[in-house]
Amino acid sequence: MGKVAVAAAVVCAAAVSAGAVLVVRHRMRNSGKWAKAMDILREFEDRCGTPIAKLRQVADAMTVEMHAGLASDGGSKLKMLISYVDNLPTGDETGIFYALDLGGTNFRVLRVKLGGADNVKKEFTEVSIPSHLMTGTCEDLFDFIAGELAKFVATEGEDMHITAGTQRELGFTFSFPVKQSSIAGGTLVRWTKGFNIEDAVGQDVVDELTKAMERIGLDMRVSALVNDTVGTLAGGRYSNTNVIAAVILGTGTNAAYVERANAIPKWQGLLPKSGEMVINMEWGNFRSSHLPLTEFDENLDNASLNPGEQIFEKIISGMYLGEIVRRVLLKMAKEAEFFGETVPLKLETQFVLRTPDMSAMHHDSTPDLKVVATKLKDILEISNTSLKMRRVIVEVCETVATRGARLSAAGILGILKKIGRDTIKEGEEPQKSVIAMDGGLFEHYTKFRKAMQTAMDELLGEEASNNILIELSNDGSGLGAALLAASHSQYREYIEST
């Protein structure tokens, strides 16, 4: 070999080894970043842990708060609102009634013809609420609702006409905290779920709706004002007498249950004949030192429209689950360059990752996680992810959903304990208890629903869990509101006496 050739070979070898060093360094840096991302993930998982012992503490705390909220107004984070519903439907209700369901992104208008428990004809329409109305004025919101209601009334067919000379009646499902003064009246305590219409707080929502209907000349009487949980309970009871509670897991979350009227110290009215009263817990506002909260939950809360409020809701309901996932991914992007050197811009936008999209990623059963890749690309404009990265993203979804689902189960156990239905009493015939469930999260997020059932079974043990059923009561709340309008109809005595 000549001198030149030797020199060239040496230079070449040097270049190769320098290159190799660069690759190794790059790999080391990458593996350092990967390790950092894994640290973030593991720490998040640890903090979200919901072992059975913790769930029991949460359930006990729920029971304690229920007692406190029933004892006095303001006695607890749980408002434990008296619904004035002391008689649940029997199945004998008849007639044509309207219902309106306002409480989230969509609102529904319903027309129901009641002719006995298995003879119900329903017609409905669903309208999404323009977002500017969610933070506008009270009058604008109610004018919009009354307008949509009037349009729907105009579509009444021949077989759905009310008796000549009578007034149409409406059950109004209004799924925000309301302090009721009667079955058909109550003032708004505060907004939740992204609504924030200041001049409506403290107003009687039935008056506001009635005024809006008058403004457009729609002649209709609001005969019952109910929360969606109360409506779901009523709707569920219509077809199953074992229904004792209702839980909503949708945009927000809440629960209602049947309480003994003499176990409500703050109830100042006459004891109802039935001896029972439906309580709207407003459980979304539950909080306890036992809740497994993380830095992401704290930051989400601080940035929300209602900081410090609805903490339970903010870790279990549909409005927030996707947002928690986004916040975890954002930290991984910022501190571990999880998606590369720059943080994807879209990932910085609050609420871009919605729970249905999180759910789609979580349920991705393709071997290479194609759905995850597509969602990342379409929603966050992130491409070129490795399978390994996509697996991490699924794991974040799994952690967030599982925590929410298991805490929901703990909440239900709290209710069952309060009414003594969590165990089978020795020597007694086992009683069946049914929890009527509704809401898009419970209905569509299969892995959430399954994790919740698993936690329920673990908490109750085999024998008790055989007698406690968690059942989807699809749109029970609309039917329930119509049924409650029927049982509080101005023509009730006339109907009963004919």
Catalytic residues: 175, 190, 228
When the beta carbons of 455 and 481 are compared against Mg ion, the nearer one is 481
Best CA proximity match to 209, nearest among 339, 107, 303 = 107
284 binds ligand ADP, rule: CB under 6 A? no
Residue 296 CB, nearest distance to Mg ion (Å)? 26
235 binds ligand ADP, rule: CB under 6 A? no
- Residue 105 binds which one of Mg ion, ligand ADP, none, with CB within 5 to 8 A depending on kind? ligand ADP
Residue 306 CB, nearest distance to ligand ADP (Å)? 16
Residue 440 CB, nearest distance to Mg ion (Å)? 8
231 binds ligand ADP, rule: CB under 6 A? no
- Residue 172 binds which one of ligand ADP, Mg ion, none, with CB within 5 to 8 A depending on kind? none
359 binds ligand ADP, rule: CB under 6 A? yes
Name residues whose C-beta falls within 8 Å of residue 376's C-beta, 6 or more positions apart in sequence.
382, 383, 385, 390, 393
103 binds ligand ADP, rule: CB under 6 A? yes
- Integer Cα distance of 150 and 167 in angstroms: 14
356 binds ligand ADP, rule: CB under 6 A? yes
- Count of residues engaged in binding ligand ADP, rule: CB under 6 A: 15
Residue 101 CB, nearest distance to ligand ADP (Å)? 7
- Integer Cα distance of 419 and 103 in angstroms: 28
Residue 174 CB, nearest distance to ligand ADP (Å)? 11
Of 83-91, 351-359, 412-420, 489-497: span binding ligand ADP (CB under 6 A): 351-359
When the beta carbons of 227 and 359 are compared against ligand ADP, the nearer one is 359
Interface residue with ligand ADP among 223, 294, 304, 355 (CB under 6 A) is 355
Residue 226 CB, nearest distance to ligand ADP (Å)? 14
Provide the terminal-to-terminal Cα distance of the chain, rounded to the nearest Å.
Answer: 118
Residue 233 CB, nearest distance to Mg ion (Å)? 14
83 binds ligand ADP, rule: CB under 6 A? no
- Residue 251 binds which one of Mg ion, ligand ADP, none, with CB within 5 to 8 A depending on kind? ligand ADP
Interactions with Mg ion, residue window 244-273 (CB under 5 A) = 250
Interface residue with ligand ADP among 69, 235, 250, 478 (CB under 6 A) is 250
Interactions with ligand ADP, residue window 307-346 (CB under 6 A) = 318-319
Encoded one letter per residue, x for contact with ligand ADP by CB under 6 A and - for no contact, window 418-457 reads ---------------------xxx--xx------------
- Integer Cα distance of 36 and 32 in angstroms: 6
363 binds ligand ADP, rule: CB under 6 A? no
Interactions with Mg ion, residue window 205-244 (CB under 5 A) = 228
When the beta carbons of 34 and 144 are compared against Mg ion, the nearer one is 144
104 binds ligand ADP, rule: CB under 6 A? yes
Return residues touching Mg ion (CB under 5 A). Answer: 103, 228, 250
Return residues touching ligand ADP (CB under 6 A). Answer: 103-105, 250-251, 318-319, 355-356, 359, 439-441, 444-445
